[in-house]
Structure formats: C-alpha cells, structure tokens
Chains A and B, each alone.
Chain A
Amino acid sequence: MIEITNLQKTFGELEVLKNISLNIMDHEIYGLVGKSGAGKSTLLRCINGLETYSAGKLLVNGIEIKGLNKKELRLYRKNIGMIFQDFPMLSRKTVYENIAYPMKCWKYGKDDIEKRVKELAGIVGITDKLEQKPDTLSGGQKQRAAIARALSMNPEILLSDEATSALDPVTTKSILDLLKDINEKLGITIIMVTHQMEVVRSVCQKVSLLENGKIVESGDVQELFLKQPEAFRRFLGNEEITSLPEGVNIQIMLRKNDDSGKILSRIAKELQVEYTVCGGKMESYRGENLGDFIINIKNEDAPDVRKFLNHEHAVWHELSGRS
C-alpha cells in the first residue's frame, strides 16, 4: 500500500508538487493524469526515490522513502519496476541480455536468470526476439521487452511513465491489455502516469487528476465519469460541443446494467416532450460501456424533465450554454 500525505516538492521558488495526498491499495491500477507539466511524472518518481520531496510523507508498505539511505534505496527499488515512454534499452546488448541485466547486477544465478528471462519473454510474448538487438524491434516489442525487464525481479509495484504515449493506437491497446493481464495474474500494483484518457478508461480502476502540481480530482474512474466534475471536464475538453443550441441542454449519463439506455424514449412517451439529440458518445471503461447523450429541450419543458430525471434517479447534468 502506498500512502502519500501532504507531499510537497519545490525547486527554489517553483512549487512542483503541492500538498499531494492519496492512497494506492495493493493490486490496484491507479492512474495519474494531467497535462504536460502538471507534476505527474515527478510524483511518480518520488515513489521510487528517483526524485526527492521537500515535505510531507510518502510511505510504501509503511516505510518512509525519504528515510532510506543509499543502499536501502537501491534494495527498495529492486521491489519496484518502472517502464518509460521511450523504452530505453542497452543498444549493444541483445534483448535477452537486456531483460537479464537487472538480475545480473543483483547477482542472480545464471540458471535462475535464464529460467526467469524465458518465462517473462513468454508472458510478454517476445520469445522469438530474445537473440536480437533492441534496434531491430518495433516500438511495441521494445516496450514488451522493457516490461519483462521491469518485472524481472518480481516487483510488487510497477510504475509506468507514459508507457504507451509513443505507440500507435493498436499497439497501445495491446500493451494496455498486457498490463491489465499482468495486474490480474501476478497481482502487481500498477501506477500509470498518462495524458491519454484512453489509457485511464481501459485499464485504471482509480485515478487522480493533477493540475499545476495539485490533485484536483480523485476517485473511482467510472464514478468520476458519471459525475463529470468541472476539472475532469476541463481535462477531457468536451471539444465537440463548442456552442450549444438555445433552450435547456441536458447531459444524461448512461450507466452499466440499468435501464438508463431507455430513458430517452420514456421522456418522449411519458412526458410527451420533444427533444433534439445534439451530442453523445459511448466509451469502454475496463471493458464496460459507459456513455452519455446530450439533449436539447424547450425552456418550458425543462421543469418536467428535471423532475422526471430525478424521479428516475438518472445521472444527469445541465450544461450551461457555452457559446
């Protein structure tokens, strides 16, 4: 378990992290999202001690990271794997040697290393690439090798810093599926720093949204999607709705496993209200579909519709006319 309380980091005058507090449970996939420069990568690096912090607490399994000396920190890092956006590899060594390298440095036995590398290569699906040099691999294959390397010493936690940002959509999906698989099968806690909403949607259970070094929103991904707090909207940037038509515009959220999908037809049938659908989308959240509709109604129909939606316990938001 990772407990972060009032974490702060300053570079001289510049506050990089301001009062960050969050808890990450074991076996979770936790997303840290935000725009470039929001401080999410710095926060991630505080967790494995690649960055130091100025004040506050950061406990991993009850141990304060700041209190570790150099040797303890090295031992501690053994327990935390990390993958990067540009999947750095030792270019003069083979993929096999790259995956084996951390274990070699920690003086694992040769037979153990060989067994582990082959096992990992099987998990990430690059068994046939082991004797090649990293330069001959595609981005996705390199990231797979990097994941195998990060997992080599059986870490409890895997840190991912924009691991899919440099990959094409199809490869991104396959890497995300792999990470989800690893999380489910090996029970490794994964913390994902990303600016891609798609990453959060497809793998994260919980998420914190950072803006200018502060956490502005935290919580369950699906709940946040339904609630759509202001900061979340800002990050998602509902760019498609630049100007809403006149009248009252209501966004109705579609939840899983309930009748919210039928609500539109019921408004028409039961309230006899005419509406225009002026927006909407469906998205997959960890394999479950969530979505929303935006409808436009006349001002005089609004009170009835509001009453009806509340009565039905629908999740809805009235959109202010931004034009």
Chain B
Amino acid sequence: MSTLFGENAENFWKMIMFPAFEATFQMVIITTILGTVLGALVAIILVVTNKNGMHPNRIIYKITAFLVNVIRSFPFVILMVFFLPFTKSIMGTSIGVKAAIVPLTISATAFIARLIESAMQEVDPSLIEAMKSFGISDIRLVCGVILSEAAPAIVSGIIVATVAILGSTAMAGTMGAGGIGATAITYGYQSFNYEVMYVIAFILVIFVEVIQGAGDYVYRKMKNSKK
C-alpha cells in the first residue's frame, strides 16, 4: 500500500507533507532575507575596512573576517548545537521553525557576506576612482556605485546561498525544526518507506531547479538589459 498515492494518501499529504513544505518555505525565505540583509552589512564592513578600502581599519577588518571564517568552518549541524543555548535565550524555544531560523541565519550571514564581499571586490577599481574624482560621498560610492555594479553577481551569489540554505533546513529538520527534510528522514528513512524519501528527494530537485532558473533569469535581466 502506498502512503503517498494510495487510499489514505490525501490525509498524509494534508497532515504531513504540506505542513512540512510550509515549514521549509518559511525557513528558506526568512533565512535568505535575513542572511542577505545581515550578510550585506558584514560585506560592506569588510570592503570598507579592507586595507585597500575607503577607511582601512585593520582591527575591525581582522575581527570581522575572523568571525566570518569561524562560522563558515563549522559544519551546520555542529553550529546548530553550539548555538542552542543562545537560540533558546532569544527565541524561548529550541525546537520548531522559529528556533531553526537562528542558526540558519547565522550560518547564511557568514556565507552570504563572503559572496557579496567578493562580488563587491570585482567592481572595476578604475570606476571607483573615477567616481571619487567627481567628489562623490563614500555612502553613495558604496550604495550607489559598488553595490549597484555588483548587483548581478550578488543575485547569483544569493541563489547559490538559497540552495545551500535549503540543504541546511533538512539538517535543521533532524534537530526538531520540522520541514521537508525532517519528513524524509522520519517518515521515509526511519520508517523504511523509501517511496516517501524518493518523492521528497525528487521534489527537492524541482525546488532547486526552480530557484536556480529564477535566479538565472533575474541575473540575465540585470546583466544585459541592453536596449
């Protein structure tokens, strides 16, 4: 008898699968948004305080870069456990979507910060110099020139990050966050119900394809909107 396509399949989809998708969507979307905002801030700090930046500051740069590297070198599962007390203290719980978002965001921030930083560093230094030669303020230089020029590369970086976050949510799922990953493990792997596992894997592949496709489309739009 099939869980997903048999007589009682409707209930299984309604009770288990759809809520799991919803939890996964929530985690991925919220984490991507928070990670992008915070990651951009960290990236700006890195670019501005870099020794070739607008306000070189060794101490701030080194500390920020070190923190980013530390977070990036933790495997996500370890990071999640490591931050459990912290998560509990700010969210009041250590299970569920709300709790999972904390470590997911911390991990995504570090990842996205590096992606945005490298995208910003790809901007032509000669363009930055030209803009300075017109007496443009530093804030405009960062927000109006560098971020705007780097935007297509930043978008493709965020897409890479979103796919990685999707992967992390599955791991978070095993620690009580719920979501599609947790369903695959609990109702598929641990219940010896491989049909559930394979169907979820297939759906995840489609998710990734959709995310990547949408990202590529936006990237192309931004990159060659030639008239």
A277 smallest CB distance to B (angstroms): 47
**B134 in complex: contacting residue of A84, A132, A136, A153, CB < 8 Å:** A153
With contacts A90-B149, A131-B227, A132-B226 known, is A84 near B135, CB below 8 A? no
Name A105's contact: one of B129, B134, B227 (CB within 8 Å).
B134
The complex places the Cα of A146 from the Cα of B131 at a distance, in Å, of 11
> Distance in Å from the Cβ of A82 to the closest Cβ of chain B?
4
Interface contact B137-A74, CB-CB below 8 Å: yes
Q: Is the CB of A105 within 8 A of B136?
A: yes
Contacting residue for B133 out of A82, A90, A106, A136, CB 8 A:
A82
Closest to B144 in A: A105
Residues 100-114 of A, flagged 1 when their CB comes within 8 A of B and 0 if not, give: 011001100000000
Q: Is the CB of A92 within 8 A of B135?
A: no
Chain B residues within an 8 Å CB radius of A105: 134, 136-137, 140, 144
B137-173 CB contacts (< 8 Å) to partner A: 137, 140, 144-145, 148-149, 151-152
Q: Is B2 an interface residue (CB 8 A)?
A: no
User: Which chain B residues border A149 with CB–CB below 8 Å?
Assistant: 134
A76 contacts which chain B residues (CB < 8 A)? 135
Interface size class of B (residues with CB under 8 A): 20 to 34
In the complex, which residues of chain A have a beta carbon less than 8 angstroms from the beta carbon of B151?
A: 92
Contact residues in A for B59 (Cβ distance below 8 Å): none
Tell whether B222 is near chain A: CB-to-CB under 8 Å. yes
Q: Is A92 a contact of B226 with CB atoms below 8 Å? A: no
Q: How many residues of A contact B (CB 8 A)?
A: 34
A89 within 8 A of B: yes
Which residues of B lie under 8 Å from residue A101 when comparing CB positions? 131, 134
CA–CA, A133 to B131, complex, Å? Answer: 18
Interface SS, B side? helix
Q: Is the CB of B149 within 8 A of A136?
A: no
The answer to whether A88 and B127 have CB atoms under 8 Å apart is yes
Nearest CB on A from B220, distance (A): 13
Looking across the interface, which residue of chain B has its beta carbon closest to that of A103?
B134
Give Cα A136 to B224, complex, Å: 10
Q: Is B52 an interface position by the 8 A CB rule?
A: no
Instruction: Give the Cβ gap from B147 to chain A, nearest Cβ, in Å.
Output: 11
Contact A78 B135 (CB under 8 A): yes
Across the interface, A50 reaches (CB within 8 A) one of B132, B145, B152, namely B132
A77 in the interface (beta carbon within 8 A) = yes
Verify A84–B222 contact, CB threshold 8 A: no
- In the bound assembly, the distance between CA atoms of A105 and B141 in angstroms comes to 10
Q: Is A80 in the interface zone, CB < 8 Å from B?
A: yes
- Once A133-B226, A133-B227 are accepted as A-B contacts, the answer to whether A88 and B130 lie under 8 Å apart by CB is yes
B134 CB to nearest A CB, Å: 4
A77 touches B132 (CB 8 A): yes
Interface residues of A in 85-129 (CB under 8 A from B): 85-86, 88-94, 101-102, 105-106
Is there contact, CB below 8 Å, between A84 and B226?
no
Q: In whole angstroms, how far apart are the Cα atoms of A94 and B226 in the complex? A: 9
Contact A133 B225 (CB under 8 A): yes
Q: Complex formed: what's the CA distance from A101 to B134 in Å?
A: 9
Nearest Cβ on chain A to B124's Cβ, whole angstroms: 5
CB distance from B219 to the nearest CB of A (A): 12
**Contact call A90/B148, Cβ cutoff below 8 A:** yes
Smallest CB–CB gap between A263 and chain B, Å? 49
Alpha-carbon gap, A76 to B134, bound state (A):
9
What is the CA–CA distance of A73 and B97 in the complex, to the nearest angstrom? 51
Q: How far is the CA of A90 from the CA of B151 in the complex (A)?
A: 12
Task: Given A86-B126, A132-B227, decide whether A92 and B134 contact each other with a Cβ distance below 8 A.
Answer: no
Indicate whether A135 reaches chain B with its CB closer than 8 angstroms. yes
Which residue of chain A has the shortest Cβ distance to B133 in the bound complex?
A82
B124 lies within 8 A of A92 (CB):
no
* Cα-based distance from A158 to B3 in the complex (angstroms): 76
CB distance from A171 to the nearest CB of B (A): 19
Question: Which residues in B have their C-beta under 8 angstroms from that of A91?
Answer: 149
A102 touches B136 (CB 8 A): yes
Are A82's CB and B130's CB within 8 A? yes
Q: Is the CB of B134 within 8 A of A77?
A: yes
Complexed CA–CA distance, A50 and B22 (Å): 53
17 contacts between A and B (CB under 8 A): A48-B133, A74-B135, A77-B134, A77-B135, A78-B135, A80-B133, A82-B130, A82-B133, A86-B126, A88-B127, A88-B130, A91-B149, A92-B151, A94-B227, A105-B134, A131-B227, A133-B225
Chain B interface (Cβ < 8 Å from any Cβ of A) = 124, 126-127, 129-137, 140, 144-145, 148-149, 151-152, 222, 225-227
User: With contacts A73-B135, A78-B135 known, what are 14 further pairs, Cβ within 8 A?
Assistant: A74-B136, A74-B137, A77-B132, A77-B135, A81-B133, A84-B126, A90-B148, A92-B222, A94-B227, A101-B134, A105-B137, A132-B226, A136-B226, A153-B134
Rank and list the top 5 A-B pairs by shortest CB-CB distance, nearest first: A77-B135, A88-B127, A74-B135, A102-B134, A82-B133
